[in-house]
Amino acid sequence: MKYFNLILITFLLVSCSSGNEKMLQEATELHEQSLKIEKEISIKFEELEQLKNNINIQGRALTDAEIKFTQEVDLLGSSLHQLKENLAKSPKSDPTKISAKESLAIQKELNDSIMAIQAMLKAIKTPSGN
């Protein structure tokens, strides 16, 4: 009976460890995917930011489309800045700080945020003539 309990405990520890490893692996993959998408978004955002700056220095009254565009770029910039802060602060699947389940939940939330920002980026229409 003593050996059965020992084997049972060992089996439970190994199975829990295996589940944690899978969650940590998934969290790591999500984090890497988020970083990759964030870099792509940053490049496109810089292009939009440059266009916004070109529009703002024209020395004339802006059209409604140009005003809307500059506001959308500003909003995107704020969202992207917040995302970068969150990505930098997010635990990188360190099991000594948080559980694998918590790490995975955080990475899923960050990934959802970056997908929303990516959708914002795609929805921005440049004003005609620019």
Domain ranges in the chain are 23-123
CB atoms within 10 A of CB 125: 10
- Find, among 70, 68, 66, 89, the residue nearest to 78 by Cα: 70
Look up residue 129 and give its DSSP letter.
Answer: T
Residue 93 zone, left/alpha/beta (φ > 0; ψ -120 to 50; rest) = left
Written as tens digits, the pLDDT of the chain (130 aa) is: 454 444 545 444 444 456 778 888 888 888 889 889 999 999 999 999 999 999 999 888 999 999 999 999 999 999 999 988 887 776 654 556 778 888 888 889 999 999 999 999 999 998 876 6
In the DSSP assignment, the letter for residue 58 is: S
Reference 34, options 129, 128, 117, 130; nearest CA is 117
Measure the CA angle with vertex 107, ends 124 and 123; round to 5°. 10
pTM: 0.74
- The pLDDT of residue 28: 86
Q: Give residue 15's pLDDT.
A: 45
- Say if residues 129 and 73 touch (Cβ distance below 8 Å): no
- The pLDDT of residue 11 is 43
Return the pLDDT at 27: 86
Distance CA 9, CA 17 (A): 12
Amino acid at 37: I
